[in-house]
A and B are shown apart, each in its own frame.
Chain A
Amino acid sequence: MMNSFTFTRRLLGAAAFAAGLAGLSAQAQTTIVVNGSGGGLAQVITKIYEEPFTKETGIKVRATAPVSLPKLKAMVESGNVEWDLTELGGDDLLQARANGWLMPVDWKVVDPDNKLPAIARLPDAMVTATFSTVIAYRTDKFPAGKAPKNWADFWNVKEFPGPRSLQNSPVGNLEFALLADGVPKDKLYPLDVERAFKKLDQIKPHVPTWWTTGAQHVQLLLDGEVVMTSVWNGRISPLRKEGKPVALAWGGGQLQLSYWGLPKGAKHPAEVFKYMSIRLDPAKGAEFVNQVPYPGFIPGLMERLDPQVAQDLPTYPANVEAQFQFDPGWWAERRAALTERWNAWLLQ
């Protein structure tokens, strides 16, 4: 790995040198503002992506946080756009797209050799990472052999007793309910909403709280407030390393994507496209995934990883097999109405 890394760096260095000569005078002062989720992730990104990028191109990168749709909305609507690039979750992308808050990506610059698979190349966004919403459970409550494996087990409160938690959102939960009710994962869409809510009725009394934030579910699990919950896969690996009694079940996991998009009216699109292209470097990608288990669709990434790390990733072949492919398109027009119905259902 070291070898390939040095090699790539040298290669990039040469390329950057050429690019630097060409664009030195024009770009010396440019700073692009990249908005992300902040925290530990931001530090990793700064070290792996931003600093080398600045060194190579002379374009400075200023990182801001957090990802906030209200801010994006206000920026685009007022024409006062601060961000040049922002991270977006699947939900965020749908809303941003529906409201026309994004500008198209120039793929001729970002990925001229068509290296990315089609799933990662959208007209207005690029997939930067994948993550999965899966089941996490307490191993001290459910030892090996008696552990829940999929959503049918999650719904089975007799064999797997104890309070549970799910996200406070219809997105994903409707799919989980249908999977629990026996719908095969390739026949999920279009979702049978009535059937899903009927199935959700069964689990409702066993869910004392519906989580809203990324790390809340983990803590509910650690605090013993619930014995199993839906979680984002990346939050569990570090806990297992610390020896906490938690584990994941990939069965019926919701494979999701997170994106990079340019706010409409962003001021430095040319520089941003250049920055986006470094996300295609598999060596940097491997370095990133070794620290944060959210891989993108970079060709040649898996091969560079330690198998131990790879098997905890949502894009690991066996895990891909167990999960279903989430369809944001189905949700696009229905999300608002279903959220309203979801809230009404929760209040009952």
Chain B
Amino acid sequence: MSRKVARTILLLAPGLILIGFLFLFPLFGVLKLSLFNPGFTTASFEKLVASPVALLVMERTFILALTVTVLSVVTGYPIAYYLATSSPRWRTILVYLILLPFWTSILIRTYTWMVVLGREGLVNSVLQWTGLIDGPTQLLFTGLAVHLAMVQILMPIVIITCYSTMIEIDEGLIRAARTLGATPGQAFAKVFLPLSLPGVATGAAMCFILSLGFYITPALLGGRRNVMLSNLIDFEVHQTLNWSFASVLALVLLAATLVALGLFRLVAPRRRDQG
């Protein structure tokens, strides 16, 4: 064994120990728990297929993640476009403005929505003050609250990934299209939009994968219908103590994440190696 190989192993060892003991090994434990109780059994997987709750929660999780992703991309894209096409002097400040909420924890951003949407909260008091509604309306603990907060939390990711692709687009191409007689709209649709799609795909994939695992926001803002897989896992761990079923649900979530990641790798054009 050459010294170089030895050195590489030595450098990697602490990382391998950390990841091995506190990441791979515990995940393996989850896999084991889902299949052994204590002997080999597929009971928990059978329960998954037979449980209306688990199936409904899986469906809702998927739909919510998809909706939030579409909303974030559709509303975030124009913001990224504006950033990319604004003057370089302003651009840095504007980008930091978008990043500002991104730097605060999800817990706190969720909390701010509790303050804004509560029955005695800002939106309700403003609506009542202006006379638009008579009594307070239910905003907190609804699907609307979950959607609003999740889009607000995830949109900066979409904006930043779209933006970083957009600023790489050669302006000359747009100008060329214009000189060839394309209207600004056509130039955007035929040239700019297709070129920005890799950024959109990356942003959407990240948004979707992160949405799948959301826990805090639906737990604090959602009503009885807004239960996501993470919340159900928590319930099975702490309330029903059915850890083997919790493990099966965790595997489902893991599989969904990996499939989403794989699909994205498959569809997305191979990106140039950054460096």
A adjacent to B, CB under 8 Å: yes
Instruction: Give A residues with C-beta under 8 Å from B.
Output: 69-70, 73, 95, 163, 168, 204, 207-210, 223-225, 336, 339-340, 343-344, 346-347
A347 & B57 in contact (Cβ 8 Å cutoff): yes
A344 and B52 contact, Cβ closer than 8 Å, known pairs A70-B238, A225-B118: yes
Partner-contacting stretch, out of B165-173, B187-195, B223-231: B223-231
B interface SS class: loop
**Residues of chain A contacted by B142 (CB below 8 angstroms):** 208
Tell me the bound Cα distance from A223 to B118 in angstroms: 9
Asked if B237 is at the interface (CB within 8 A of a chain A CB), the reply is: yes
- Which of B52, B53, B241 is the one whose CB lies under 8 Å from A69? B241
**Residues of chain B contacted by A73 (CB below 8 angstroms):** 241
A163 and B56 contact, Cβ closer than 8 Å, known pairs A225-B118, A346-B224, A347-B225: no
Q: Mind listing 23 A-B residue pairs with CB under 8 Å?
A: A70-B237, A95-B241, A163-B138, A168-B224, A208-B142, A208-B223, A209-B141, A209-B223, A209-B224, A210-B224, A223-B118, A223-B120, A224-B136, A339-B239, A340-B51, A343-B53, A343-B227, A344-B52, A344-B56, A346-B224, A347-B57, A347-B60, A347-B225
**Residues of chain B contacted by A70 (CB below 8 angstroms):** 237-238, 241
B225 & A224 in contact (Cβ 8 Å cutoff): no
**Residues of chain B contacted by A223 (CB below 8 angstroms):** 118-120
CB distance from A164 to the nearest CB of B (A): 12
Tell me the bound Cα distance from A210 to B235 in angstroms: 14
**Residues of chain B contacted by A69 (CB below 8 angstroms):** 241
A224 & B240 in contact (Cβ 8 Å cutoff): no
Tell me the bound Cα distance from A336 to B240 in angstroms: 7
**Residues of chain B contacted by A224 (CB below 8 angstroms):** 119-120, 136
Name, among A69, A204, A340, the residue most crowded by chain B CB atoms within 10 Å (CB to CB).
A340
Known contacts A224-B119, A225-B140, A343-B227, then 5 further A-B pairs from the complex at CB < 8 Å, ordered by chain A residue: A73-B241, A208-B142, A209-B140, A343-B53, A346-B227
CB distance from A251 to the nearest CB of B (A): 26
* Chain A proximity mask over B137-156: 1 for CB below 8 Å, otherwise 0: 01011100000000000000
Count the B residues whose beta carbon is within 8 Å of the partner chain — how many?
A: 24
**Residues of chain A contacted by B138 (CB below 8 angstroms):** 163, 208
Tell me the bound Cα distance from A225 to B142 in angstroms: 13
Tell me the bound Cα distance from A209 to B227 in angstroms: 12
Name, among A168, A204, A344, the residue most crowded by chain B CB atoms within 10 Å (CB to CB).
A344
Name, among A95, A207, A223, the residue most crowded by chain B CB atoms within 10 Å (CB to CB).
A223
Tell me the bound Cα distance from A343 to B232 in angstroms: 10
CB distance from B128 to the nearest CB of A (A): 13
Interface residues of B in 90-145 (CB under 8 A from A): 118-120, 136, 138, 140-142
**Residues of chain B contacted by A208 (CB below 8 angstroms):** 138, 140-142, 223
Tell me the bound Cα distance from A163 to B52 in angstroms: 28
Tell me the bound Cα distance from A210 to B57 in angstroms: 17
Tell me the bound Cα distance from A73 to B37 in angstroms: 14
Closest A residue to B225 by beta carbon equals A347
Closest B residue to A69 by beta carbon equals B241
**Residues of chain B contacted by A95 (CB below 8 angstroms):** 241
B119 & A347 in contact (Cβ 8 Å cutoff): no
- Which of A163, A336, A339, A347 is the one whose CB lies under 8 Å from B227? A347
CB distance from A15 to the nearest CB of B (A): 41
CB distance from B247 to the nearest CB of A (A): 13
Tell me the bound Cα distance from A225 to B140 in angstroms: 9
A347 & B56 in contact (Cβ 8 Å cutoff): yes
B240 & A339 in contact (Cβ 8 Å cutoff): yes
**Residues of chain B contacted by A339 (CB below 8 angstroms):** 239-240
**Residues of chain B contacted by A225 (CB below 8 angstroms):** 118-119, 140-141
CB distance from B78 to the nearest CB of A (A): 34
**Residues of chain A contacted by B51 (CB below 8 angstroms):** 340
Tell me the bound Cα distance from A129 to B141 in angstroms: 34
* Chain A proximity mask over B234-255: 1 for CB below 8 Å, otherwise 0: 0101111100000000000000
**Residues of chain B contacted by A210 (CB below 8 angstroms):** 224
